Amino acid sequence: MRTVTRLLTTLPALLAAIPAWAQTAAETVAPVVEPVVAAVEPKIDTGDTAWMLTSTALVLLMTIPGLALFYAGMVRKKNVLATLMQSFSVCALVTILWMVV
């Protein structure tokens, strides 16, 4: 009985909310947007490129020790150094491959 009561109170609320998800037609918006998109030409900005390289270096400096310490915490004492070395080696290899590709 309780389930039926909940269903009878929830269902009309959901049905009343359906028009809230209705969207307007896209035909009126599309002609206005197309000329603006066509007018913008992509250009390479040296500041953006420098910032991307800097932020990539910062993320690597933050991530590599974090991952290495995380994996080192999952092994026994005698394997910590080997696990740290594996993490740093893999990160160095991936960094070189990232630059080459």
Model pLDDT for residues 11-32, shown as the tens digit of each residue: 887 777 777 777 665 555 555 5
Please tell me the predicted confidence (pLDDT) of residue 75: 93
Residue ranges for the chain with pLDDT beneath 50: none
**Mean pLDDT, the chain, whole residue set:** 82
8, part of any domain:
no
Q: Is residue 56 in some structural domain?
A: yes
Instruction: Determine the structural domain holding residue 60 and report its residue range.
Output: 45-101
**pLDDT for the residue numbered 9:** 82
93 in a structural domain: yes
Of 55, 64, 51, the residue nearest 94 (C-alpha):
64
31 within some domain: no
Count of domains observed in the chain: 1
| Long-range interactions of 56-63: CB distance < 8 A, separation 24+ | 60/91, 60/95, 63/91
The pLDDT value given to residue 31: 56
pLDDT of residue 24: 61
Residue 37 is predicted with a pLDDT of 61
